[in-house]
Amino acid sequence: MATEQMDGGRALIRALENEGVEVMFGLPGGAILPVYDPIIDSSIRHVLVRHEQGAGHMAEGYAHATGRPGVAMVTSGPAATNIVTPLCDAYMDSVPIVVITGQVPTGAIGTDAFQECDTTGITQSITKHNFLVTEAQDIPRTIKEAFHIATTGRPGPVLVDIPKDIVDPLNPRSAMTWTDDVTIDLPGYNPQTEIDPEVIRAAAELIRASERPVLYVGGGILKARAADALLELAELTGISVVTTLMARGAFPDSHDLCLGMPGMHGNFTAVTAMQESDLLIALGARFDDRVTGRLDGFAPGAKIIHAEIDPAEIGKVRQPDVAILGDVRVAIEALVAELATNGTGDVDRDAWRSKLSGWQERFPLAYEPWVPGDPLKPQYVIECLRDGTPDDTIVTSGVGQHQMWASQYWKFDYPYTWINSGGLGTMGFSIPAAIGAKVAFPDRMVWAVDGDGCFQMTAQELVTATVENIPIKVALLNNSHLGMVRQWQEMFYEERY
């Protein structure tokens, strides 16, 4: 077994290289500076951001677009607190990112040292896991464990807090012995990915008996890279599909079985189909309040099949009749195999299909046509952008009215092309996320659709894009308001603003 003597900073960079990291987004500072020096000799590209929040959202955009973990690295104290929002955003939307933060030397922890904060304490509830590494020898194993946790089971953010003394080559505490046979040690962490065949058979029986089924598709489909399997299931069964805000693109909008987006900002057909269904097949969805509305009135006549990798989501909001615990792609493939082998049933669903088609014809997404000379309508802008871009264009958005217009009026026929902040609803997400996606796919067009409120929160990252030669495109829908906030004030607060 080959060994090599090195300091903790070099070991950290080598551990990242061994995980296949090609790019990281970050901003140096005192506590993390010893790790920055070995980056000069590394194959890893470093994108220098203007604010640590930008680094986190760029890592998210990279992870959304590629399915691989995004990496951000910042220093201690205010830098660590600045990246809390992206960590929480990634936690809510199940985005695999690994964030490395600097920390004061181990001997100074707890003394209120300069730029000290309890980073692991602050982030405990908004990360899938976090680590405070106190020995240089533990760095390679910790990095390996961080990537394993971030990318297995339900994906999510992992934070690694690194005290300065264990990475500083001038400090004896940073000395360590590198070995290539690093193994992880995570007792109790064993996400279930295999599917119980009996559960699949029970789900198939419900599908065969259903007269008004709907495939309720959430962002977990994209996290599992299961779009192809979903298409196969829908076409095999002829069941119509609704795609939530986080799942746009998981099923082609141009497909006859696509009903569009449900929920508070969804279209009539998608919302009503869920309400009147007798079977909701929830795939990688978590029954979010923006989809369900009042729970006591949500899909009252529907039985529930819930395929989900996180056992904490099963029954959290709506108790399923059949719970499929495991990887949703594996679950769909098992359902396809069962239904293809033993049949999809002989229930007549013509009346249901006719009703769905009737709703689509009577209640399409529509807006008053734009008249030349009038202010541009945002819906028209989105449609023009979509018509003038390649089919594989990646679109990011901020949060607010422009986010909903983009999700509704941009027709998504390719998966992994829509990136937004769903659970946390983070204004300022769009531009840095677009930068992260463009770094991942430099040859594809990337549009950031932003509102004027969101734009002002992270506009400084356009400097990052310029300096780093990352040519994203920005569509700024400027109504001189926080549009959705103003809309709510008009609707519920007697226009008092």
Catalytic residues: 52, 114-115, 164, 484
For 394, the enclosing helix (H) or strand (E) is strand 394-397
**Helix or strand or coil: residue 318?**
coil
Closest to 249 (Cα-Cα) out of 386, 379, 353: 386
**Would you tell me how many other CB atoms lie within 10 Å of the CB of residue 473?**
14
Helix, strand, coil abundance in the chain, percent, nearest 5: 45, 20, 40
Q: Give Cα separations from 338 to 39, 55, 97, 189, 345 (angstroms).
A: 51, 44, 35, 30, 12
3: phi then psi, degrees, rounded to nearest 5: -130, 160
Q: In the beta sheet, which residues pair with residue 322?
A: 305
**Helix or strand or coil: residue 47?**
strand
Burial 200-222 (b: 16+ CB within 10 A, else e): beebbebbbebebbbbbbbbbbb
70: phi then psi, degrees, rounded to nearest 5: -85, 150
Question: What is the DSSP pairing of strand 258-260 with strand 279-283?
Answer: unpaired
Distance, CA of 163 to CA of 168 (rounded, Å): 9
- The C-alpha torsion from 257 through 258 and 259 to 264, rounded to 10°, is 150
Q: Which two tokens stand for residue 437?
A: 């996606």
The owner of tokens 């449609």 is 383
Q: Which two tokens stand for residue 72?
A: 């951000």
3 state SS for 97-147: EEEEEEECCHHHCCCCCCCCCCHHHHHHHHCCEEEECCCHHHHHHHHHHHH
Residue 147 gets the label, from left (phi > 0), alpha (psi -120 to 50) or beta, of alpha
